[in-house]
Amino acid sequence: MPKVNLTVNGKPVSADIEARTLLVTMLRETLKLTGTHVGCDTSQCGACVVHVDGKAVKSCTMLAVQADGARVVTIEGLATDGTLHPMQEAFRENHGLQCGFCTPGMIMTAVDLVNREGNELDEHAIREGLEGNLCRCTGYHNIVKSIAAGARAMKGKRRAA
Amino acid sequence: MYDFSFHRPADLASAEGYLKAAEAKLLAGGQTLIPTMKQRLAAPKHLVDLSNVAGLTGIERKGRNLVIGAMTRHAEVAGSGVVNKAIPALGLLAEGIGDPAVRNRGTIGGSLANNDPSADYPAACLALDATIITNKREIGADEFFTGLFETALGADEIVTRVSFPVPIKAAYLKFPNPASRYALVGVFVAKDTDGVRVAVTGAGESGVFRVPAMERALSKKFSAKAVEGIKIDPSTLISDIHGSAAYRAHLVGVLARRAVETIAKTK
């Protein structure tokens, strides 16, 4: 079985896994990081979005062996010392979630959007940026509000990898 | 997904070596191949990952041409100053593929080698008369796309770069399927000194195709009016739950006209 070495949320991790193991499966089942969700399992819903080498990817559409040597950040890697990441805090403040299933992917996508496009995001940019993330409760309205607020709150703060 | 042996060569020669095995397949960004394998529609015994192969990425202007490495991600093309200066329509096309996470993984070479009948890049290659460069030869776009998910690539051939002659002006207009963002119909119009080329994706039963009648009309007079009366024969177009062949034929005309108008408006 191939051996995979990764850095996950700043910690080196290694595992012997089948080549066909998806990155999301390794995160959830091998490393027990169940914050990353599997929604559709067909690259559409975005519940599985994590950052690989600083970029948002759908971890259900990437093999763990493809991430060998990479830095992976999951939703569990955003908070520091018990303090929520500004984007997480913004979702809490703005009622950006109801059932919460899509939230990890929404937040990882949102942080990636801020990293690419900066802290002042208008509604259009946010809605375009959420093209690959589906939510079945909120109608997106408060998610968009949360991301605009989170983006501003991230200004000058540490960038999540 | 069925299991397979995973290979991650560091150079083209070893990648080509792995392809000699039976049922070996190349893995680029994996945004089509991995879902296909998950559905067991593909089950290669060997998967050859190109992500560590040296020399397959990068974007550069080489004289009259814009040259893009096969493993360059859609997001890199979309965000490239070099692309957006040389062929802005190509940057916009890349920006419209899938969603941000898909664009962070998907590659131009993978898209071309897959030749999905609804993919965007084949239309750009055909309209811009691009040359697809492989480990063995150079293939003109007119010869490269040979049918539904079919290309001129040999079994041990690997796309390394794509070279686009920089046109005077170009535009790509797409009517995206609202769920998948694939082109229900997409029309790429490129105007160059030696004439106009029009390529259509999303509509053809055999994949991307050119529209000679529109090309002739636009080469004579470059205006939206010139393409207005030109009918597209729906008999070879895709008909599915998303749109009938007749509807797609209609969209080709509408999008071609809008692409010409877009070009006319750009300086």
pLDDT in tens, A93-124: 999 999 999 999 999 999 999 999 999 999 99
Q: What does the block give as tokens for B248?
A: 């797609």
A56–B49 CB contact, under 8 Å: no
Domain-ending residue, one of A22, A57, A77 = A77
Is pLDDT above 80 for A159?
Answer: no
Is pLDDT above 80 for A161?
Answer: no
pLDDT > 90 in chain A, percent: 93
| Model confidence band, residue B164 (pLDDT cutoffs 50, 70, 90) | very high
Q: Does A150 touch chain B (CB under 8 A)?
A: no
Residues of B in contact with A20 (CB under 8 A): 1-4, 37
Q: What does the block give as tokens for B38?
A: 């998950």
Same domain, A28 and A48: yes
Task: Express each pLDDT in A12-51 by its tens digit.
Answer: 999 999 999 999 999 999 999 999 999 999 999 999 999 9
| Model confidence band, residue B70 (pLDDT cutoffs 50, 70, 90) | very high
Is pLDDT above 80 for B127?
Answer: yes
Which residue, among B16, B17, B44, has the nearest Cα to B30 in the 3D structure? Answer: B44
B8–A19 CB contact, under 8 Å: no
Task: Express each pLDDT in B27-63 by its tens digit.
Answer: 999 999 999 999 999 999 999 999 999 999 999 999 9
Same domain, A65 and A104: no
- The domain spans of chain B are 169-265
* DSSP helix/strand/coil, A4: strand
Q: Which amino acid belongs to residue B89?
A: A
Best of B5, B6, B26, B53 to disrupt the A interface by mutation (most A CBs within 10 Å)? B6
Residues of B in contact with A58 (CB under 8 A): 101-102, 105
**How far is the C-alpha of B97 from the C-alpha of B267, rounded, in Å?**
25
Q: Contact at 8 Å (CB) between A56 and A36? A: no
Architecture of domain B169-265: 2-Layer Sandwich (3.30)
Best of B40, B46, B50, B105 to disrupt the A interface by mutation (most A CBs within 10 Å)? B105
Range of the domain at A117: 86-153
Q: Contact at 8 Å (CB) between B116 and B145? A: no
- The CATH number of residue A111's host domain is 1.10.150.120
* DSSP helix/strand/coil, B199: strand
With respect to residue A112, please indicate whether it lies within any of the assigned structural domains.
Answer: yes
Is pLDDT above 70 for B128?
Answer: yes
Mean pLDDT rounded to a whole number for chain B: 96
Across A67-92, average pLDDT? 97
Q: What does the block give as tokens for A139?
A: 């109608």
Could you say which of A2, A19, A43 has the minimum Cβ distance to residue B102?
Answer: A43
Closest CA in chain B for residue A2: B6
With respect to residue A160, please indicate whether it lies within any of the assigned structural domains.
Answer: no
Is pLDDT above 80 for B267?
Answer: no
Which residue, among B189, B157, B166, B187, has the nearest Cα to B175 in the 3D structure? Answer: B187
B30–A57 CB contact, under 8 Å: no
Domain-ending residue, one of A77, A111, A141 = A77
B1–A66 CB contact, under 8 Å: no
Task: Express each pLDDT in B202-227 by its tens digit.
Answer: 999 999 999 999 999 999 999 999 99
Across B167-177, average pLDDT? 96
Q: Does A147 touch chain B (CB under 8 A)?
A: no
- At B179 the pLDDT is 82
A42–B75 CB contact, under 8 Å: no
